[in-house]
Amino acid sequence: MPDEPLIRLDWIVDNLGEIGRRLGEHIVMTVIAVIIGFVISFALALLVRRYHSLAAPVLAASGVLYTVPSLALFALVLPFTGLSLLSAEIALVSYTVLILVRNVLTGLDSVPPDVSEAAVGMGFTASQRLWRIELPIALPVIVAGLRIATVTTIGLVTVTSLIGQGGLGYLIVTIGINQFFSTAIYVGAILSVALAIGADVALLRIQKALTPWARSRAG
Amino acid sequence: MEFLRAVVAWLLDPAHWAGSGGIPTRVGEHLLLSGGPLVIAILVALPIGLYIGHTGRGAFLAVNLSNIGRALPSLGILGIFLPITAGLGLGFGVPPTVIALFALAVPPIVTNTFTGIREVDAELIEAGRGMGMRESELLLQVELPLAMPIVLAGLRTSAVQVVATATLGAVLGTGGLGRYIIDGIAQQDDPQLFVGAVIVALLAIATELAFAALQRAAISPGMRHSGQSPAGLDVDAPRPAL
């Protein structure tokens, strides 16, 4: 394709339906991974708070697993669950858990001790303290983790095209790189960046709406 | 269990330990493919970070560079350079991969170096100036040693990222350990892709541990007893190696 332009607008116009479908798949895979990852991380964080001896191993394991390349993690799951959405989501959820468990723990730990004590003094039970005091205070740190996890997952979902999934990686790899068609590469990459930035901004907005009291302090 | 037996059989096959597709060759390719761009990135990014940190000029650029880098998926970075190198007649596999890995390695080093230098106590710099140190002496004898833990944390982030992303080079046709995974998927050869995945995961973890050790070893003796823990001082928010 030496004489072909880097981006062919006519292809984009002709394939808007396909591009939209891939974008939709990308969003669905990201949302599934972040939601399941968040639920697991939250449960893990509560468990670690109850059994403090778990903290060191959980954090150490998440630190080490963090460095495992995404393609390797997908490949480690493949022999057991095949070229499936399940394989993709297992790996994606693992990454979001690695990121989120740290942030949920850091967030809950950031609650000033005198605040917790005041709540105890006012007769709050442990679960009331968690839901009404600690969680709201921890929210900015937790959302910060959600933002990192979401942006990271959006990037990782592109890799799932290598194990037979759709999403924007399908445009980048299956149509773009494998058939040597630069337009599809650029459309996939640009949409992926746009999606990451959009998700980041949206989560920041949500956080600001949920924590009006933090508006003057947290950026 | 049957799968594990197949994995062991694959590992014990002498053919997988010799020749151009053998494990030693693939590990060597992987190290070259990641080491080259990393070294060039250090040579380019370190002076830029030192300059921005010392003069304060271009800080805006340094911060935004790393934010954009975070949103761009590594597979996208690899893909973006492919048509460009192909169009320029540079080739398909290694050239776009090397450029992409270089582009990936620069931002964390620039950002961390710049932040490390910026965070040095202003009084210490003034004291140095008062003692008649030249700007270059200030930078190399006061600022850089104090910033070293953060600078090295940036190197660590870059190194792990590059080793991980070099795996994806196989998508463009390079050698390295990604070959086992990409070929394993294409040939439906589960033992091959599994072994490839384990080796590349171990290599990434080894890189992380090696740089963590370097970080501990390279701390200026004057800072060792300051009660600060240098580990994990990476100012770049944690991000898994894609």
Looking at the domain B35-178+206-223, which fold is it?
A: MetI-like fold (1.10.3720)
Closest CA to B158 of B101, B224, B225: B101
Residue A120 lies in a domain: yes
Q: Which residue of A has its CA nearest to B206?
A: A67
Q: Residue B92 has what pLDDT?
A: 86
Q: Residue A219 has what pLDDT?
A: 42
Range of the structural domain that residue A188 is part of: 9-214
Split into its structural domains, chain A has a count of 1
Give the domain ranges of chain B: 35-178+206-223
The model's pLDDT over B52-77, given as tens digits with 9 standing for 90+, comes to: 998 888 888 777 777 777 778 888 89
Average pLDDT along chain B: 87
Place of tokens 């959980």: A58
Question: Please, are residues B73 and A155 in contact by the beta-carbon 8 Å criterion?
Answer: yes
Q: Residue B238 has what pLDDT?
A: 44
Among the residue ranges A70-79, A143-152, B189-198, B210-219, the one predicted with the least confidence is B210-219
Among the residue ranges A71-80, A103-112, B5-14, B97-106, the one predicted with the least confidence is A103-112
ipTM of the complex: 0.86
Quickly state the pLDDT bin for B239 (edges 50, 70, 90).
very low
Best probe of the A interface among B30, B75, B182, by most A CBs < 10 A, is: B75
* Rounded distance between C-alpha atoms, residue A164 and residue A150, angstroms: 21
Test B82 with A177 for CB contact under 8 angstroms.
Answer: yes
Q: Distance from A2 to chain B by nearest Cα, in Å?
A: 6
* Rounded distance between C-alpha atoms, residue A32 and residue A37, angstroms: 8
Q: Residue A169 has what pLDDT?
A: 95
As a whole number, mean pLDDT of residues B20-32 equals: 95
* Rounded distance between C-alpha atoms, residue B88 and residue B229, angstroms: 48
Instruction: Calculate what percentage of chain B has a pLDDT beyond 70.
Output: 92
Residue A88 lies in a domain: yes
pLDDT exceeds 60 at position B231: no
Q: Distance from B197 to chain A by nearest Cα, in Å?
A: 4
Residue A184 lies in a domain: yes
* Rounded distance between C-alpha atoms, residue A201 and residue A211, angstroms: 15
Give start and end residues of each alpha helix (H) in A110-134. Answer: 113-121, 126-128
Residues from chain A that touch B168, judged by Cβ atoms under 8 A, are 71, 159
The CATH code of the domain that includes A51 is 1.10.3720.10
pLDDT exceeds 50 at position B139: yes
Test A158 with B200 for CB contact under 8 angstroms.
Answer: no
Closest CA to A56 of A92, A110, A102, A99: A102
> CB count, 10 Å around CB of A199?
21
The model's pLDDT over A91-112, given as tens digits with 9 standing for 90+, comes to: 999 999 988 998 899 888 888 9
Test A177 with B79 for CB contact under 8 angstroms.
Answer: yes
**Using CB atoms, which residue from B71, B76, B164 is nearest to A172?**
B76
Q: Residue B236 has what pLDDT?
A: 43
pTM of the complete model beyond 0.90: no
Residue A48 lies in a domain: yes
Which range, B64-73, B124-133, B220-229, has the best average confidence (pLDDT)? B124-133
Q: Distance from B221 to chain A by nearest Cα, in Å?
A: 27
By CB neighbour count within 10 A (0-12 exposed, 13-18 middle, 19+ buried), where does A87 fall? Answer: buried
Q: Residue B225 has what pLDDT?
A: 56
Residue A219 lies in a domain: no
Residue A3 lies in a domain: no
**Using CB atoms, which residue from A71, A79, A151 is nearest to B168?**
A71
Question: Please, are residues A92 and A153 in contact by the beta-carbon 8 Å criterion?
Answer: yes
Q: Residue A216 has what pLDDT?
A: 60
Place of tokens 């823990």: B229
Q: Residue B71 has what pLDDT?
A: 74
pLDDT exceeds 50 at position B227: no
pLDDT exceeds 90 at position B32: yes
Q: Residue B113 has what pLDDT?
A: 93
Q: Residue A110 has what pLDDT?
A: 85
A50-to-A44, A46, A184, B31, B169 alpha-carbon distances in Å: 10, 6, 49, 43, 44
Q: Residue A2 has what pLDDT?
A: 52
Among the residue ranges A153-157, B137-141, B157-161, B215-219, the one predicted with the least confidence is B215-219
Q: Residue B98 has what pLDDT?
A: 96
Backbone angle region of B120, left / alpha / beta, with phi > 0 → left and psi within -120 to 50 → alpha = beta
Residues from chain B that touch A180, judged by Cβ atoms under 8 A, are 86
Query: For chain A, which residues score pLDDT lower than 50?
Result: 1, 218-219
Question: Which token pair is B19?
Answer: 């020749």
Q: Residue A49 has what pLDDT?
A: 86
**Using CB atoms, which residue from B171, B207, B208 is nearest to A173?**
B171
